[in-house]
Amino acid sequence: MTNFDTIINRKGTGCFKYDGLQMMYQKEELLPLWVADMDFAVSEAIQRALAKRLQHPIFGYNFRTSDFSAAIEHWQKSQYDWDISAYKIVTTPSLMTALAICVLSLTDQGDKILIQTPVYPPFHAIVKEHSRQLLKNPLINKDGKYEIDWEDFAEKAAQAKLFVLCNPHNPVGKVFSPAELQRMSEICTQNDVLIFSDEIHADIVYPPLKHHSIASIQSSGVITGVSPAKSFNLAGLATAIMIIKDEALFQKVNELNNSMHTFMGNTFGITALIAAYTESADWLKALKAYLQENRDLLANYLAKELPRVKMSPCEGTYLAWLDFRDYALSDEELMSVMRDQAGLALNAGNTFGDEGSGFMRLNFACPRSVLQKALAKIKAAMETV
Ligand SMILES: Cc1ncc(COP(=O)(O)O)c(C=O)c1O
């Protein structure tokens, strides 16, 4: 079983998190707790499956055999008791490709698309880059815990063509409850709003909470985006999927995916997905236990040593949403304290929307000793403010 305490040097592998530091932060020697991937080796089952595939020295065109969809069905059923045997699967290189395909195939220029801010920056960018209009339903921060502004949601849904849900939510760490999903789903149905549900973080939900797909509540009009990229650390293998029930919706999305040739599969991505979903459930369990301890260590450290920094309850994802507003620093000053004083690369909160001003996102999917080092650096830096 993977030892999550092991520090693996990723520098020089062309990974964004380490090798992109100079480009993004104009500094190379930073402790990087930004990009949402993990500093852990993938499961042994995935390593074995990839090594086996590598032994065959031809990497020509492939298609996805029935093992691929069977693995996805098995995962959804065994982890979430969601039976998708009657659903269609559309494969794309990434979930953001999937979102772009849905925006292009299901909406027209000028149409309004609803998102819940602060949220993952490409949600904003994809809508704007394709000349659609952004409608924002800002989540309400109640003492660090985020809630839906239902009145505003209903008002915006009445104007929207598509709602892009992020569940679990990046960056605020919220896991939407069945009751919340039900209510969102009812409002969307009443207003003929389609739903793209980004569930890329679904496998990282901490007990006692459980992940529920909005499509398991209302299957019609929903495109569910999932992938093993986050939970099994496979983002570089470019394999994401959309799960769709309605035939008409599937036809539209599939047609554009085919005409863009974004359906093409990656040999290693296919192999890794199958090994993740059929042989790596125990590894995921161990990972989640480790991440939960990191999360708790982080929350306890802040409460004790840095009580002016408030961490939102992280119900899912390995991303902590930290509120530094008590220090009354500008976003530039806060970034400078983290980068130049603490020597850390964190994500600036305002990149997730205006509501994120004064916040930072910290990725705690790293060996515990690295997290401890980072926390000591934050404490020392904040003492200079
Ligand atoms: C909510 C969310 N969706 C999608 C992605 C990216 O997925 P992909 O690389 O498959 O586009 C991320 C990565 O951080 C994410 O947090």
Convert the pLDDT of each residue in 212-259 to its tens digit: 999 999 889 999 999 999 999 999 999 999 999 999 999 999 999 999
* DSSP H or E run through 197: strand 194-198
Band the pLDDT of 207: cuts 50, 70, 90.
Answer: very high
133-158: burial string, b at 16+ Cβ within 10 Å, e else: bbbbbbbebeeeebebeeeebbebbe
* pLDDT for the residue 2: 87
**Axis crossing angle, helix 150-157 with helix 178-190, rounded to the nearest 10:** 30
Closest atom of ligand 1 to 317 CA is: 16
Q: Establish whether domains 16-42+281-383 and 47-279 are of one fold.
A: no
Atom of ligand 1 nearest to the CA of 169: 1
Best residue for ligand 1 mutational test, from 170, 211, 317, 362 (most atoms within 8 Å of Cβ): 170
CATH fold group of domain 16-42+281-383: Aspartate Aminotransferase, domain 1 (3.90.1150)
Predicted confidence at residue 337, as pLDDT, reads: 98
Q: How far is the CA of 229 from the centre of ligand 1 (A)?
A: 8
Q: d(Cα 298, Cα 320) in Å, to the nearest integer?
A: 9
170 lines ligand 1 (CB under 6 A): yes
Each domain of the chain, given as residue ranges in start order, spans 16-42+281-383, 47-279
Among 337, 342, 346, smallest CA distance to 376 is for 342
Where is 223: in which H helix or E strand?
strand 222-226
Residue ranges of alpha helices (H) inside 158-244 are 178-190
Ligand 1 centre and the CA of 96: distance in Å?
Answer: 6
Complete edge-to-edge strand list for the sheet that includes strand 112-115: 88-92, 240-244, 222-226, 194-198, 162-166, 112-115, 133-136
pLDDT for the residue numbered 265: 87
Q: Tell me, what's the pLDDT at 1? A: 79
pLDDT attached to residue 239: 97
C-beta of 115 in contact with ligand 1 (< 6 A)? no
Percentage of residues of the chain with pLDDT beyond 90: 98
pLDDT tens readout for residues 55-77: 999 999 988 989 999 999 999 99
The terminus-to-terminus CA distance of the chain in angstroms comes to 42
pLDDT at residue 20, as a whole number: 97
- Looking at ligand 1, which residue's alpha carbon is closest to its atom 16? 170
What is the model's pLDDT at position 119?
A: 98
User: pTM higher than 0.95, yes or no?
Assistant: yes
Looking at residue 219, its pLDDT comes to: 85
The predicted structure's pLDDT at residue 158:
98
Per-residue tokens: 49: 């499956």
Token representation of residue 380: 């020392």
State the architecture of 47-279 in CATH terms: 3-Layer(aba) Sandwich (3.40)
User: CA–CA separation, 64 vs 318, rounded Å?
Assistant: 30
User: Which pair of structure tokens corresponds to residue 167?
Assistant: 């569940």
Find the 37 Cα to ligand 1 centroid distance in Å. 10
pLDDT tens sequence across 261-287: 999 889 999 999 999 999 999 999 999
